[in-house]
Amino acid sequence: MKQIKKLLTGVGITALMLGAVSGLTSCSEEGTTDNPGTAKQNRTIVVYMNARNSLYANATSDSTEIVRGAAHLKTGEQMLVYLCRRKQARLYRVTRQSAATGMELVMQYGEQVNASDPGHFGKVMKWIRENYPSDTYGLVLWSHSDGWLPSTNKINTRGFGVDAGPDSSIASDYTTEGKLGYQMDLTDMAEALTESGLRPEFIFFDSCLMQCIEAAYALRGVTDYIVASPAQIPGVGAQYDQMMANAFYKTPFDPQAIVTEYVRQATEGPEYGDMGVVLSTIKTSELEQLAQKTSEMLERYVSTTEPDLSNVLAYDFYSSRSFYRPEYYDLQATMRHLITNDADFQEWQEAMDRCIVARGATPSISYWVGRSIMLNEGEFCGVSMFVPQTRYTTNATRCLYGDLNQAFTQTEWYTAAGWDKTGLLDER
């Protein structure tokens, strides 16, 4: 989940409320608007802020950045910002004029909508496609997240976002029933995007732990590129005015641009402290080949004997303080450890390099539990992977997410990458 470090400016909500608020009628759960939409644009970036959780205040400062960044937009460029926080869920439009007038409110929804409901997410995306057509789209997904991990509620199984509900305590990730807010299953997210007809050229996760190979594989059919971090990121997140100026609107899409810009911000910006960031970009059309090559190598080098990964680079720390999440081992570092033949590793790495087309990091990153790790160039790929271990089953009752080994078997990557052929989980 995102760390919460962002300093508030107090300007964002004022900016959000400027614009065509008076043109809206009373709202229902499905949403109402009198806005007729726009003619086809060249490029539209959709920012989906699932902020009905402890990140609600960060949405204020990020909205301020977006309004400031509007000055960088050109003719034919726009941003649509969906914001669900507290008792409000609204959709805003941002153009170059918004730098002076603020965001334009174009849709509002009833307070009972759930931003983590894939049905609602899909309806928002479909409405955007129908009313704000564009030659290309980009999608920013903004919230808490834990990568591919199982949901902590019984509605969904894995996913992104936390919606604690409109009646939850401000700054809480928990519902009024005391359960962690709802999360969106990644398979359902992919299905919702497909059914909406909106295919973003890229998905950028401004949320923690989402650049894992398991999540990327689940989303391989709905976008061309996935940009995300395999580690935790600061609550301050991206500086959106700078992303708008230097990354989001590059045409054609530059796989390195968001990565480079985010690393620059985390390096130069005092608001990031010493936390740092690590990111990468996955080209989804290469995931099938990487899965096939990974399957060949795992079948060759992994047996029923659990590998010792104690010295392998990991992006999280397995402990009660991090809810017994797994370590999120670096994909490249793990496969280098497992594949003992240099020629075989080189063969696998070539497939990886065709898939992971950009990566970058500050010299070190810090865990929220107070630990830090060094990232040496050439020794990491910026994508994580899950490796089954006995302790995940042993500690299942203590883990917020249940038996991680069992949950892993339900992912598409488990079969595609050949983990089912290794026998590693046969006795677990």
Token duo for residue 87: 């008792």
Separation between Cα atoms, residue 276 and residue 425, nearest integer Å: 35
Question: Are 83 and 62 contained in the same domain?
Answer: yes
Separation between Cα atoms, residue 198 and residue 201, nearest integer Å: 10
Question: Are 248 and 385 contained in the same domain?
Answer: no
- Averaged pLDDT, 136-143: 96
Separation between Cα atoms, residue 118 and residue 121, nearest integer Å: 5
pLDDT at res. 241 = 98
Question: What is the extent of the structural domain holding 281?
Answer: 12-285
Q: Which residue has the higher pLDDT, 185 or 67?
A: 67
**DSSP-derived secondary structure letter, 212:** B
Encode pLDDT of 323-381 as tens digits.
Answer: 789 999 999 999 999 999 999 999 999 999 999 999 999 999 987 667 889 999 899 99
Q: Residue 7: inside a domain, yes or no? A: no
Question: Are 277 and 364 contained in the same domain?
Answer: no
Question: Are 384 and 326 contained in the same domain?
Answer: yes
Can you give the pTM of this predicted structure?
0.92
CATH number at residue 54: 3.40.50.11970
pLDDT confidence of 34, banded at 50, 70, 90? low
Note whether 89 and 115 are within 8 A (CB).
Answer: yes
Question: Are 59 and 133 contained in the same domain?
Answer: yes
Q: Residue 95: inside a domain, yes or no? A: yes
Q: How many domains does the chain have?
A: 2
Note whether 161 and 183 are within 8 A (CB).
Answer: yes
Domain endpoint, select from 224, 252, 285:
285
Q: What is the maximal distance between C-alpha atoms in the chain?
A: 67
In the chain, pLDDT over 70 holds for what percent of residues?
A: 88
Domain endpoint, select from 244, 259, 285:
285
C-alpha torsion angle, residues 375, 380, 382, 383 (rounded to 10) = -140
Question: Are 178 and 299 contained in the same domain?
Answer: no
